[in-house]
A and B are shown apart, each in its own frame.
Chain A
């Protein structure tokens, strides 16, 4: 029953809750997983915005993008459910956010962003730290840093099988298992998602079925952990993704409908942690490979990248108050393919952070210098502070200098790639208040960021587009969130509210007569408001969520024609959990977009109206 209660609490809270996942993590070797201190150090003085557990919300059927979407800080641009999608946070671009899994970056070195349509639907939990994070996470961490960790099982569980169906020919299934010895654990999971995505939409007052939007994605992960002693451990992890998806045209029914995207990604990583006489040392060695094949009636293009990631870090607590975290990161990348000038790139960086924590004060000072192909990238310092003014009230703040080096496509795309691009860079800072109460938490944050050398692809000759450092951008905004938990009679209830106000304004442009100056960056809503309400009674759970996204502009001049109208998507989900002696069955049903809102997140790419998913999960 304790477990069940916890489960419910997480279903309800995980959209915005903080730190809940800790309690479901396996305690095995927890003490010396060193990379956690990187995230914890980064989090000091930042809005630690959300943790979301993909296994526990969404009835095992939601997608990664739905989780990110349910967070008020984030904006998702999606070509359709399960199709190519990217996200940005606090008015950044999708290349200015970083996702990490087992110390490995998930952003594609080619595209510079993560296609969240490829990520599996469950078995992960996300921790998002908003604001600049380049000092500890390097390149790209300008808008937010998201740590993705596997949370396959709660205590006492070792096997799960589930599956279900949904509207528009959707099928999903997953199997995961845990094996365990005295000194080792092994987790395996297999995740399948497919959909015809042939939902209906309206064009020129007639109904059409979406064409060429079908999705097939398979994800396999395996995590092996071995403990040599209580002073040393090793993790070896693998994540493979194979997909075959349509690449639909806009909603114009006559437009070509034969483009396809096939992806094949592999990630392997080994992490070794060793407790020394003083401090802890950690080595990471990872290898990533990604292949993407694009085909249509004329083209058949294969582009691939290989990436070798090496990390060394050391942490030392030299007194009760002071601790040190230092390290080196190295990323070596090779890009090959039809659309690439074959190229390699090496990013090497050294960083260090010093943390002070005493009674009411926490402070982290950090520095990083990155070298890209032996050229120095911007020097990145940061300072984060948290101070408890009153027992329940903390003031937080940080300031940092962040950068985003151009992606390999930006630099080496054939034709148009621009190897002379400078990194996007600038200062960012925030200040806020956190109030914690038995029944509720409130957080309010003001943030600011400047971006110089903002990169935009513009036509430079005939049909040739090329990325150029053309703009300066000033980002300013505020976030507020409220998390409320209450028990009425035997019903556990909760309410989460989140609001983002964001102005991302172009302040300068090197394009003559550029009408974007003074205007909002494209695909960045000025307002986002999210709500989730949950209730749990015995074995029944209800979850209701809504996400309002304000008007978004698809063009840099913010012309009226380019407006994507504001929309509000409402989802509801019910589940029933049948507890048996050693196992549990869960039956879940979800109604997505139940008000049948007509909306788009990319101009003229329709999204589905009301739709359903249902499924069953057995956990032993």
Chain B
């Protein structure tokens, strides 16, 4: 009995302490800076979103978790798209697109029913989510998060790009049990139908539009079978010019472009990506030496601050790094991010 009373007394003390806690510091917001997409380990059921405010170097390692008290809904966090002050986080192996307030990261919903979502493009209040499992692009209502329609495209649709009321879809399949594909699909967004397919190179995965309005497609090649290709598509007549990569040992990935739209960047030559290469859109040959020699898994080029952002994944069983470089490839600083930093989302 004595013990019970003591216990109760202890409990009430605890209760008192709680009430007297100081009010917490104002919550972080994420309206500026860069989000870092950390894939997480396949099958682990969790992935993380990191954030850096470049103005004051305020870094948050697990921003979504910190805000909501739970991790993102699954693993293989593939990509993030911001539209209408909402952050859409595509979690491939959670079969879910997490929706959060883009400023506070408060969870506000989920898009479900898509088995293997990869990327999302947004246009006119509609979202377009590519899905490996069904080889469809799903049309999403971005206010109700309901699936409105599906558009059949090629095999393993990956990156997409919206331009001039058209959606360009890279059909990336390059082996691993999927039918191989070498095309991009063009969807007319006025009626959500495929209006054209263009053969580019084997396994097209990344798309960028340059300052001249030409579409660049980076093709990985089929695994251990065909070489990668960098293909320029003249959208006036869909004609293509291709530049071959040297062999089948490595696959080029993660192509991005600078804000001026005149320099392409991609990873090539190793682990899950490779070194960073830079190529002028006027060049007709591939660069032979990288601008940054180091294994990267994720790549981004900041729209205003002239920095290259590299994601480093030492192995997928430990946290990775975001390293910032100047345009000459010299390291500026680095941040310990989550597992498998695969991409960056610069907040305009």
Contact = CB atoms under 8 A, between A and B. Distances in A.
Interface in B39-62: 41, 43-46, 48, 62
A559 interface: yes
Contacts of B223: 415, 462, 464
B245 to A, nearest CB: 13
A559 B339 CA distance: 10
A554 B314 contact: no
Contacts of B312: 513
A605 B115 CA distance: 20
A255 B94 contact: yes
A561 B224 contact: no
B12 interface: no
B45 A250 contact: yes
A148 B271 CA distance: 43
Interface residues of B, number: 45
Contacts of B271: 459-461
Contact of B314 (A251, A513, A603): A513
A461 B273 CA distance: 7
The SS class assigned to the A binding surface is loop
A254 interface: yes
Nearest to A522: B317
Contacts of A36: none
A556 B315 contact: yes
B95 A255 contact: yes
B318 A462 contact: no
Contacts of B65: 561
A250 B43 contact: yes
B202 interface: no
A512 interface: yes
A555 B319 contact: yes
Given A250-B44, A298-B177, A516 B318 contact: yes
A458 B318 contact: no
Contacts of A250: 43-46, 74-75
B250 A604 contact: no
A375 interface: no
A554 B318 CA distance: 9
Nearest to B223: A415
B159 to A, nearest CB: 14
Nearest to A561: B62
Contacts of A465: 316
Interface in A545-561: 554-557, 559, 561
29 contacts: A250-B44, A254-B74, A254-B96, A254-B110, A254-B112, A256-B95, A256-B115, A298-B133, A415-B224, A458-B316, A459-B271, A460-B271, A461-B251, A462-B251, A462-B273, A463-B272, A464-B223, A512-B314, A514-B318, A554-B44, A555-B41, A556-B315, A556-B318, A557-B317, A559-B318, A561-B62, A561-B65, A561-B338, A603-B45
Interface of A: 203-204, 249-252, 254-256, 297-299, 415, 456, 458-465, 511-516, 522, 554-557, 559, 561, 603-605
Given A249-B45, A460-B272, A605-B45, 15 more contacts: A204-B70, A252-B74, A254-B96, A415-B223, A459-B271, A460-B271, A461-B251, A461-B271, A462-B223, A516-B318, A555-B319, A557-B319, A561-B46, A603-B46, A604-B45
